[in-house]
Amino acid sequence: MTKYSTDEFDRAKAQMGRDLNAAITHSQDLRKSAAPHDDARTKFEEEPGSVVASVAEQSQPAVVEVRSAAAAADDYVRQSPWGAIGIATAAGMLIGFLAARR
């Protein structure tokens, strides 16, 4: 399941990068031609909205996976609170040790 999630996240990240690059290129072209044309100016104003929609759509698999992981972590903490406290303590000690070495 983790491999599938990582692949989905990587694909979504790559698609968002392509969409943003395309939007930047498109907006630069529109900006150059927007002065004399009202139609181009309208497209230029609509472009950020389409980029936001694309980013939201592409990030949806990652959001679903994060929510699933959060629910699993919540279930684990509710079923085994002392185990979660032990893990949190060990992680805190490790971070403190690493931070003190710097």
pLDDT tens-digit profile of 13-37? 777 777 777 777 777 777 666 556 5
The confidence band for 9, taking pLDDT boundaries of 50, 70 and 90, is confident
The pLDDT score that the predictor gives to residue 1 is 47
Is the torsion defined by CA of 14, 17, 23, 26 positive or negative? negative
Give the type of residue at 52: V
Full-model pTM: 0.41
- Distance, in Å, from the CA atom of 22 to the CA atom of 9, rounded to the nearest integer, reads 20
- Distance, in Å, from the CA atom of 60 to the CA atom of 87, rounded to the nearest integer, reads 30
- Distance, in Å, from the CA atom of 8 to the CA atom of 2, rounded to the nearest integer, reads 10
Q: Which of 35-49, 56-70, 85-99 has the least mean pLDDT?
A: 35-49
